[in-house]
Structure 1
Amino acid sequence: MSTSDQSATEDRHASWLELFFDLVAVAGIGMLARLLVDDTSGGGISVYVIAYTAIWMIWACFTLYSNVAGQETHVSVILSAMFVLGVMAAAVPEIHDEHATGFAVAYVVGRFLAARPWQRSTVVTDLPIVQTGGGIVPWVVSFWFEGTVQYALWALGLAIDLWFIVSVNHDRLLASTQERLDRVRRSRRRSAERHEQLPETVEAVGADVPHLGERLGLFVIIVLGEGLVQITDAASEATWNRALALTGAGAFALMFALWAAAVRFGYAGAALVPDRGISARLSWPVHLVATLALATVAAVLGGLVADPHAHLDDRVRWILAAAYAGYAVLSAGVHLLRRDLRRAACVAVPMVVVAAVVAVATGLAAEGTVWLLAAGVLAALWAHARVERSFTSA
């Protein structure tokens, strides 16, 4: 690649079409937040996680398509994806009842649409599920079931896809695709069929990494933005007094601190990870888990602001602590993969300690909880700044 070409690639930013596409993700995150708030039982949380993962999966498939296609992105493909995501988001409020099958049908349609732009001789190495259908099969089977069995089939399909993302070997994927292409070419020669000429070798396609980092970061902002919406909506209906002011300020401080950790100084949603600090392949599962944890924290915040004096319900307290600690552990794990023990400690120590306090402190009120959570992230940012200064001065 020439210097000018490389510069052009690095200067590429999200297009208007991509930003328009993300608006549907905004609607989906909002619906999912309400789904979690309405049902905090074990079954409700499970369906919330499954629905979030499914919506994220469709978003990821089409985000990668526009990332790779660039200016050649077909508007019709993205608009079709928006419609599919819109149907899925609209189905979320009644996903426990009559709209469950509609959600599944929309997901299957979205996955088939996501595979269409890719040619048979092309291998998408950074998100290979866009060309595989194994994870779609349980979703199709789920059309004939209801309730727990249907959700279990969805979870199975998503698990197959996620396992494929993290386990597939790049070289074996290319080799198996080449073998399939060779079989098709031999079959066509024997049958004397006349089709357009197939290429002799497969082409490996990877993501535009700088642009992908921006797209992943924009999704994190969408998630945190939903948290701000929950806070302001709750504050608009609550009694305006000192308790509300303290709780609202703490909730905003938490959102601002998470933005700094996950976006300003983070990558793919993971806290305090340097820009492009992980591979494009790994960034997808990291982004899924990170944004799921952040979305869960953001969804709970509205209820805390709405009633600052109330003691947290045990289920809400454990959900909040688990999501907060999960985000910290994920981010620390990314640093450990990079063999950066100091940054891993910066994230894990303060945030896991705070999560443990929230989990066991049964008498903790909402106003104290939000400031504790904010303090954990702020402490991580402070420790990270100290580490950065030590590296600079060394």
Structure 2
Amino acid sequence: MVNIDEEPQDTTIERHASWTELFFDLVAVAGVSALAHMLRPELDAAALGLYALLFLALWLSWTTFMLYGNVAADQTRVLRLMVGMFGLGVMAASVPGVAHTVLGHGSDIRPLNVFAIAYVATRVYGSKSWQRGAVLLDFPVAQYSAGLLPWFASLWVDEHWKLALWAAGVGLDLLLILVLSGSGILQRVQSYLTAPERTRRRSRSGVSPDGMGPVIHGVSVDPAHLSERLGLFVIIVLGESVVQIVAAASEARYDLGLLATAIASFILLAGMFGLSVVFGYAGLPHLRAGRIPTRAALGLHCLVTGVVAAIAVPLSLVVRHGSDPLPEHVRWLLCGVVAAYFTLGVVTGVASHSSDLPRTTSRVTTGIAAPLLLGLLATAVSGRTLVIYLALIVLAHLWFERRLAPRSLPMKLPAAPGGS
């Protein structure tokens, strides 16, 4: 008999991230930091496209192991996470070489092959972590490797085709995230294994049809643990941005202008922390627990962390050259990142039904339209003044959220989004 059931979740004890998981997150954020540094020399469409492509690859690798640890809980194998960390470390270390070859028109394609091999090996190894017969209902793409085929094929083509195949592989994974349903996969497996011809085949082979067939079960994420891991990842990315700003300030001339820039930059990053963690949920601004599916929360988390990681680049440049107007591409990156962050907040608020029409309109006009207008019109404004304007926008949103929040709002990570 084929036994197909859904594994129950024990929600009586709230789990927290282990030391190994925190170490794993720090290694992943090291890759995010390397990607942010990649944007510094020359910021254009090609650099942003490469940043997005490599960030998605890093995030998918991190998510595969993060979800494994979430589901496996106390049975998580530390050695397996360590191997995943090493793979992420190799990917991070090869980012500068990839950027030099692609953006600097270098001729050495070995860093691209190293990144591709590390990505394929890390994803394959991570996808094999699951218990045999278990189907992850919330994010099944973590168990499947179809999107890795273009990456594997890219090892035998030249640079331009490599990037095209990488984009195709990541695009296929993103498509599978949208269309794959864990429950649907479980039902299809059930139909396949209980088909009459397979039952007759097992009988002819001497296998008893009353219990000797494979056991297939569905597994779901631990919501509270998932919320904590997603929120912690956003916090660590914000912390990495602070580190880059501090490093830039250590090389700048100390004066009142530097102090004003540092305070405004810190307010901007601290405001994002408040909106994402204190008044948000699972690291997502304006999200409420249990309002959207897990895979939707994961997709939004990928976008939010990618946006937050990119803001360190223009802020560091402002710290160094705060009294001068920013170059056009840097100004647009700074204002565009803030506008993108609030755009994702609006999407999250609407999707989770936590925003009414007046609140959504306010967020669109002040959080999206105002930064974009600054990017368009503030051509002669110093970088320092521009950061102060953006910090005031974030601070106003933070004040507004605190006014609307109940007085009993806990200053900690809330519980996590629901299932698929």
- Give TM-score, length-normalised by structure 2: 0.85
Query: In the alignment, residue 230 of structure 1 is paired with which amino acid?
Result: Q
- DSSP 3-state at the match of 1:37: coil
Give, in whole Å, the separation in 2 of the partners of 1:54 and 1:343: 35
1:217 and 1:268 in contact (8 A); partners too: yes
Aligned pair partner of 2:134 in 95, 104, 122: 122
- Give TM-score, length-normalised by structure 1: 0.91
Give, in whole Å, the separation in 2 of the partners of 1:383 and 1:336: 17
Residue 107, structure 1, aligned to residue 110, structure 2: no
Partner of 2:285: 271
Give, in whole Å, the separation in 1 of the partners of 2:212 and 2:335: 54
- DSSP 3-state at the match of 2:218: strand
Shift of the alpha carbon at 1:234? Answer: 0.6
Going from structure 1 to structure 2, the CA distance change for 1:241 and 1:19 (only over 3 Å counts) comes to same
Partner of 2:414: none
- DSSP 3-state at the match of 1:203: strand
Aligned pair partner of 1:218 in 229, 232, 256: 232
Note the 1:225-374 alignment, pairs <5 A: 225-339=239-353, 340-341=355-356, 342-360=358-376, 361-374=378-391
Shift of the alpha carbon at 1:345? Answer: 3.8
1:332 and 1:343 in contact (8 A); partners too: no
Query: In the alignment, residue 298 of structure 2 is paired with which amino acid?
Result: W
Query: In the alignment, residue 99 of structure 1 is paired with which amino acid?
Result: P
Shift of the alpha carbon at 1:70? Answer: 0.5
Give, in whole Å, the separation in 2 of the partners of 1:298 and 1:39: 15
Going from structure 1 to structure 2, the CA distance change for 1:354 and 1:202 (only over 3 Å counts) comes to same
Shift of the alpha carbon at 1:263? Answer: 1.4
Alignment gaps of 5+ in structure 1:
none
Give, in whole Å, the separation in 1 of the partners of 2:267 and 2:212: 57
Partner of 2:405: 388
1:350 and 1:377 in contact (8 A); partners too: no
2:127 and 2:142 in contact (8 A); partners too: yes
Percent identity of the aligned residues?
Answer: 36
Aligned pair partner of 2:177 in 150, 165, 171: 165
Note the 1:30-45 alignment, pairs <5 A: 30-45=33-48
Kindly tell me the number of residue pairs found equivalent between the two proteins.
385
Partner of 1:6: 11
Partner of 2:90: 87
Give, in whole Å, the separation in 1 of the partners of 2:193 and 2:21: 32
- DSSP 3-state at the match of 1:95: helix
Give, in whole Å, the separation in 2 of the partners of 1:170 and 1:254: 39
Shift of the alpha carbon at 1:309? Answer: 0.9
Partner of 1:145: 157
Shift of the alpha carbon at 1:119? Answer: 3.8
Shift of the alpha carbon at 1:363? Answer: 1.3
Q: Deviations over 1:59-117 (max 9, x none)?
A: 11100000010000011110110010000000001113330111011010011111112
2:139 and 2:182 in contact (8 A); partners too: no
Aligned pair partner of 2:392 in 354, 360, 375: 375
Going from structure 1 to structure 2, the CA distance change for 1:311 and 1:130 (only over 3 Å counts) comes to same
- DSSP 3-state at the match of 2:405: helix
Partner of 2:167: 155
Give, in whole Å, the separation in 1 of the partners of 2:188 and 2:289: 33
RMSD of aligned residue pairs (Cα, Å): 2.5
Going from structure 1 to structure 2, the CA distance change for 1:126 and 1:299 (only over 3 Å counts) comes to farther
Query: In the alignment, residue 402 of structure 2 is paired with which amino acid?
Result: A
Going from structure 1 to structure 2, the CA distance change for 1:69 and 1:315 (only over 3 Å counts) comes to same
Give, in whole Å, the separation in 2 of the partners of 1:378 and 1:310: 24
Residue 54, structure 1, aligned to residue 66, structure 2: no
- DSSP 3-state at the match of 1:202: strand
- DSSP 3-state at the match of 1:266: coil
Going from structure 1 to structure 2, the CA distance change for 1:236 and 1:190 (only over 3 Å counts) comes to farther
1:269 and 1:286 in contact (8 A); partners too: no
Give, in whole Å, the separation in 1 of the partners of 2:320 and 2:169: 37
2:90 and 2:115 in contact (8 A); partners too: yes
Aligned pair partner of 1:136 in 139, 148, 151: 148
Going from structure 1 to structure 2, the CA distance change for 1:198 and 1:314 (only over 3 Å counts) comes to farther
Give, in whole Å, the separation in 2 of the partners of 1:190 and 1:370: 74
Q: Deviations over 1:216-250 (max 9, x none)?
A: 01110111011101110010000011211111111
- Bigger relative contact order, structure 1 or 2 (CA pairs below 8 A, ≥6 apart): 2
Shift of the alpha carbon at 1:149? Answer: 2.0
Going from structure 1 to structure 2, the CA distance change for 1:189 and 1:16 (only over 3 Å counts) comes to farther
1:308 and 1:365 in contact (8 A); partners too: yes
Query: In the alignment, residue 355 of structure 1 is paired with which amino acid?
Result: P
**Range moving further from structure 2, 33-42 or 247-256:** 33-42
Q: Deviations over 1:19-64 (max 9, x none)?
A: 1111212311221110111231211111111111111111111000
Shift of the alpha carbon at 1:7? Answer: 3.0
- DSSP 3-state at the match of 2:311: helix
- DSSP 3-state at the match of 2:254: coil
Give, in whole Å, the separation in 1 of the partners of 2:395 and 2:83: 41
1:262 and 1:270 in contact (8 A); partners too: yes
1:121 and 1:181 in contact (8 A); partners too: no
Alignment gaps of 5+ in structure 2:
1-8, 102-109, 410-420
Query: In the alignment, residue 371 of structure 2 is paired with which amino acid?
Result: A
Give, in whole Å, the separation in 1 of the partners of 2:234 and 2:367: 19
Query: In the alignment, residue 140 of structure 1 is paired with which amino acid?
Result: F
